[in-house]
């Protein structure tokens, strides 16, 4: 199954646009789609963005960002079927004109499809262990990001993005998405009040968020930013996940729950609208002009090793 995919941005002189380098990371989502069919309108306590907020995806675009992309991803057995579309669509839409290096983690290196990459873009495949629980794969995500940054990317890259591989790019994703710490609003909860967010509510968990706290619900399928900021996030979440394991508790939505706890007290400097993380089974509202990246329709019972 495909799980994580990483693109990194390398340091170095970047006098020409095609020498800018970014990194992308993809992964299998940590949970099935969380659907709130009520879709309430704006109200007191509403924690999602306004319609005007969704029009600002191109704001704060850095001029000539100092970066060059390299991707990393993980594919576990049955998820490999999504990898070809992910890579081919990334080549068409993700950081076009930048050097990109894809890092792919998979337990089936021989099943990785051959995809023609553009000039200055490359793919590295890293073998990883299989698991009988998709939750275990999700729980190890933060540790993988932490290890990758410390062992391979430190002093070599500026930015890193972690994305779900069972997804597809549909439109331009460029430098407007860069920031020190980047999060994305969850497609199913961006118009929901905080009481409807699926935060971890058990005080015994390190991911616990009290019912009266919280502002947004962030999707775990997209995490990005500068290496030092993402490293701090990944290390903190990894330590909290280990503390939960020692106490024999697993957060409601694995690493996504811990990500939301981290973002509650360490706000993202760049917040992407749901057009950067949509879901193909969800209707697109009229005020959303474009879907740039979306999770594809899939049968979880078929592709996951356990319920």
Cβ neighbours, 10 Å, residue 299: 7
| Residue percentage of the chain with pLDDT more than 70 | 68
Written as six digits, the tokens of 192 are 């929901």
CA-CA distance, 219 to 277, in Å (whole number)?
Answer: 8
Binding residues for UDP-N-acetyl-alpha-D-galactosamine: 79, 164-166
What does the pLDDT read at residue 76? 44
Binding residues: 79, 164-166, 186, 256, 279
Can you tell me whether residue 146 is helix, strand or coil? helix
Apex 30 CA angle, 52 and 112, nearest 5: 105
Element spanning 270, H or E: strand 270-272
Model pLDDT for residues 189-244, shown as the tens digit of each residue: 998 999 999 999 999 999 999 999 999 999 999 999 999 999 999 999 999 999 99
Q: Of 43-57, 140-154, 245-259, where does mean pLDDT reach its minimum?
A: 43-57
What does the pLDDT read at residue 98? 87
How does residue 10 score in pLDDT terms, banded at 50, 70 and 90? low
User: What is the sign of the dihedral through the CA atoms of 69, 73, 79 and 80?
Assistant: positive
Q: Of 15-24, 141-150, 185-194, 214-223, where does mean pLDDT reach its minimum?
A: 15-24
H helix count then E strand count, the chain? 6, 12
Q: Which of 200, 256, 275, 302 is catalytic?
A: 256
Q: Mean pLDDT across the stretch 250-270?
A: 95
Average pLDDT, the chain: 77
Binding residues for Mn(2+): 164, 166
What does the pLDDT read at residue 302? 52
CA-CA distance, 229 to 36, in Å (whole number)?
Answer: 31
Residue 129 has pLDDT above 90, yes or no: no
What does the pLDDT read at residue 124? 85
What does the pLDDT read at residue 27? 39
Instruction: Please enumerate in sequence order all residues whose Cβ is within 8 A of that of 248, keeping only pairs 6 or more positions apart, or say none.
Output: none
Assess contact for 293 and 224: CB atoms under 8 A.
no
DSSP string, 32-101: -----TT-PPS-TTB-SPPTTGGG-TTTTPPSS-S-BEEEEEEE-GGGGGGHHHHHHHHHHHBSTTSEEE
Model pLDDT for residues 66-104, shown as the tens digit of each residue: 444 444 444 444 567 779 999 999 999 999 998 888 888
What does the pLDDT read at residue 6? 58
Q: What is the CATH number of the domain that holds 19?
A: 3.90.550.10
Domains of the chain: total: 1
Domain span at 93:
2-303
**Catalytic-residue membership of 255:** no
What does the pLDDT read at residue 90? 96
What does the pLDDT read at residue 50? 40
Q: Mean pLDDT across the stretch 163-184?
A: 94
Residue 142 has pLDDT above 50, yes or no: yes
How does residue 60 score in pLDDT terms, banded at 50, 70 and 90? very low
Q: Of 7-21, 24-38, 73-87, 266-280, where does mean pLDDT reach its minimum?
A: 24-38
Residue 53 has pLDDT above 50, yes or no: no
What does the pLDDT read at residue 91? 97
What does the pLDDT read at residue 223? 94
Residue 7 has pLDDT above 80, yes or no: no
Residue that has been written with the tokens 């997209």 in this structure? 222
């Amino acid at each position: 199954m495909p799980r994580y995919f990483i693109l990194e941005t390398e340091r170095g002189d970047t006098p020409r646009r095609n020498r800018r380098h970014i990194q992308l990371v993809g992964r299998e989502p940590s949970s099935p789609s969380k659907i709130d069919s009520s879709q309430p309108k704006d109200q007191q306590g509403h924690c999602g963005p306004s319609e005007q907020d969704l029009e600002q995806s191109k704001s704060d675009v850095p001029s000539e960002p100092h970066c060059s992309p390299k991707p990393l991803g993980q594919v576990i057995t049955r998820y490999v079927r999504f990898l070809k579309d992910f890579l081919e669509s990334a080549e068409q839409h993700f950081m076009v004109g930048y050097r990109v290096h894809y890092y792919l983690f998979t337990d089936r290196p021989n099943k990785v499809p051959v995809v023609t990459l553009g000039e200055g873009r490359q793919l590295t495949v890293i073998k990883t262990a299989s698991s009988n629980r998709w939750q275990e794969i999700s729980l190890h995500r933060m540790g993988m990001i932490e290890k990758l940054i410390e062992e391979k990317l430190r002093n070599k890259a500026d930015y890193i993005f972690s994305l779900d591989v069972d997804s597809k790019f549909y439109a331009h994703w460029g430098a407007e998405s860069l920031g020190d710490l980047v999060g994305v609003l969850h497609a199913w909860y961006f118009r929901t009040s905080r009481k409807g967010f699926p935060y971890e509510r058990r005080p015994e968990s390190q991911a616990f968020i009290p019912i009266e706290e919280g502002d947004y619900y962030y999707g775990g399928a997209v995490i990005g930013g500068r290496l030092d900021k993402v490293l701090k996030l990944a290390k903190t979440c990894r330590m909290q996940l280990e503390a939960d394991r020692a106490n024999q508790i697993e957060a409601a939505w694995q690493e996504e729950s811990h990500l939301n706890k981290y973002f509650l007290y360490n706000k993202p400097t760049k917040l992407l609208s749901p057009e950067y993380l949509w879901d193909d089974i969800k209707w697109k509202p009229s005020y959303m002009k474009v879907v740039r990246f979306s999770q594809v329709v899939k049968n979880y019972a078929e592709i996951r090793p356990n319920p």
